[in-house]
Amino acid sequence: MKKTNFDRYLQEQMKDEAFAARFEQAGQAWDVALQIASLRRQAGLSQKELAIALKTSQQQVSRLESPSYEGHSLSMLRRVADVLHTRVRIVFEPIKKPQPGIHAAEAAVPYRAERTQIGRNKKEEAGRKK
């Protein structure tokens, strides 16, 4: 497929790290807005009907569906998901290039930790003392 002038322009702009970061962030806002609008339409709801179900205003629903809005709170996204019978899933992904001076303090910890032998021993000792 032939590249358009815009494709060439965008390719050139993406060489600038600051532009690329802003472009990526804007894409994330678009993703959230489009998903909310799409799910609302699939549910057969108008913005006003969704607002009533969320106990908020139609203007707030319009903001949530706006690609330029970046004030989404996790609690509001959960409320929207609940009304639309979906769930919110947030994924943290590694940055392609590590930023200088920013390092993780510790290795990642698994979500559910295994019970340790120490914990079992303390329970056994407490049971024996009774």
- What pLDDT is attached to residue 113? 41
C-alpha closest to that of 95 among 24, 13, 11, 43: 24
Q: Using DSSP, state whether 76 is helix, strand or coil.
A: helix
- Domains of the chain in sequence order: 1-91 (1.10.260.40)
Contact 92, 104 (CB under 8 A): no
C-alpha closest to that of 20 among 97, 124, 113: 97
Q: What is the share, in percent, of the chain residues with pLDDT greater than 70?
A: 65
For 8-22, the pLDDT digits (tens) are 876 787 787 787 776
Dist CA 57 CA 51 (whole Å): 5
Q: Average pLDDT for residues 83-92, to the nearest whole number?
A: 92
User: What is the average pLDDT score of the chain?
Assistant: 77
Q: Average pLDDT for residues 103-126, to the nearest whole number?
A: 50
Q: Average pLDDT for residues 55-60, to the nearest whole number?
A: 96
Q: Average pLDDT for residues 94-119, to the nearest whole number?
A: 54
57, pLDDT greater than 80? yes
* pTM above threshold 0.75: no
